[in-house]
Structure 1
Amino acid sequence: MKKALVMLATAVAMSGAFAQTSAPASAPTGTPASAPAAKAGHERNVEDRIAYLHTQLKITSAQESQWNAFADVMRGNGETMGQLFQQRKANTNLSAIDDMKQYATIAQAHADGMKKLVDAFDPLYSSFSPEQKKLADVTFHQGGPEGGHRHNGKGSAKKAPAAAE
């Protein structure tokens, strides 16, 4: 079960971290106009992921308070990682040591976010029915569009578990 939680947390955190690569191509990177558009796209991806998981995991009304706590951590982690990746993207003339330090900051924020996410998911997962636990285990274990870091935020393409990579 701990392995499933770690995989869950990684999948969810990474979905938020990679989502900001969807900035619109119409505005040049690093311009003030592109930052709000990239942030809006990133927030939409995080919200799409939250909505997808809510549906996929069949969250009940009795589980809403735990779900909301989990979703809030996802939002916070997504915002933190989005800001850090935007800073990294904006800093194009870094020395090798500064680049490594910046990456270390991102890695530490990711680790801190994962801890928060696992802490928020634990009571929710404990409240799940056996069916919901199976759904969660499969959803976060697949690693594909439905359950992993490669999720594009759309939630529309569905693979059968046997077809997962």
Structure 2
Amino acid sequence: MKKALVMLATAVAMSGAFAQASTPAAAPMSASAPAGKAGHERNVEDRIAYLHAQLKITSAQESQWNTFADVMRSNGETMGQLFEQRKTAGTLSAIDDMKQYAQIAQAHADGMKKLVDAFDPLYSSFSPEQKKLADATFHHQGGEGGRHHGKGKGGKAHAAPASDAAAN
């Protein structure tokens, strides 16, 4: 149970955007950001800025992009609050631990649904080049816990998914 929670916490902590996407290892993740809420918010903002540049968002797409970015921020805030509650909860019974884990998992699933709903119209507005960039950026690699942060197809290294910044 603890291993699963650590894996979820790690995945969610890195969150930022959408569908469990893998991104290049060079994606900025604010390594020097302060710990806690400010550091988490900085990571989400770094992820939003990275995706904006990576996907080559045009001025005509800004309104849809802003909707998507706002969902990322909201998801990040929600997950940050849930993990802070978990951190300060102290010793929990096994059943309370499981309930808290289920609450985090449900919030992550709900956040992903909102993210997909916000991303759909944005993706539809993309040029063929942007769609290829998005497909590559958000490609989900399999592996332990449904994620693989090592080398993906083609030998390219991948960092944490975009969705992880949003959910954190």
TM-score (norm 2): 0.67
Give the structure with higher Rg (CA).
1
Q: CA deviation at 1:10?
A: 2.6
Structure 2 match to 1:137: 135
**What is the aligned-residue RMSD (CA, Å)?**
2.8
1:23-63, Cα deviation, whole Å (9 max, x unpaired): 85xxxxxxxxxxxx500000000000000000000000000
Structure 2 match to 1:68: 66
User: Are 2:155 and 1:163 equivalent residues in the alignment?
Assistant: yes
Aligned partner letter, 2:41:
E
Structure 2 match to 1:43: 41
Q: CA deviation at 1:142?
A: 6.0
Q: Which runs of 4+ in 1 moved over 6 A?
A: none
Could you tell me which of 82, 85, 90 is aligned with 2:83? Answer: 85
Secondary structure of 2:20's match? helix
Count of aligned residue pairs for this structure pair: 127
Distance 1:96 1:23 in 2: 34
1:106-152, Cα deviation, whole Å (9 max, x unpaired): 01111110110000000000000000000000011165xxxxx899x
- 1:138–1:161 Cα contact (<8 Å) kept: no
Distance 1:54 1:109 in 2: 25
User: Are 2:7 and 1:9 equivalent residues in the alignment?
Assistant: no
- 1:77–1:113 Cα contact (<8 Å) kept: yes
Judged with a 3 Å threshold, the aligned counterparts in structure 2 of structure 1 residues 134 and 119 are, in CA distance, closer, same or farther, namely same
- 1:142–1:164 Cα contact (<8 Å) kept: no
Structure 2 match to 1:118: 116
Structure 2 match to 1:55: 53
Q: CA deviation at 1:164?
A: 2.4
Judged with a 3 Å threshold, the aligned counterparts in structure 2 of structure 1 residues 23 and 47 are, in CA distance, closer, same or farther, namely closer
Distance 2:79 2:152 in 1: 30
Gaps of 5+ in 2: 1-16, 23-28, 142-146, 158-168
Q: CA deviation at 1:162?
A: 2.6
State the structure with bigger RCO (CA 8 A, min sep 6), 1 or 2.
2
TM-score (norm 1): 0.68
Gaps of 5+ in 1: 1-6, 13-18, 25-36, 144-148, 152-158
Distance 1:47 1:150 in 2: 23
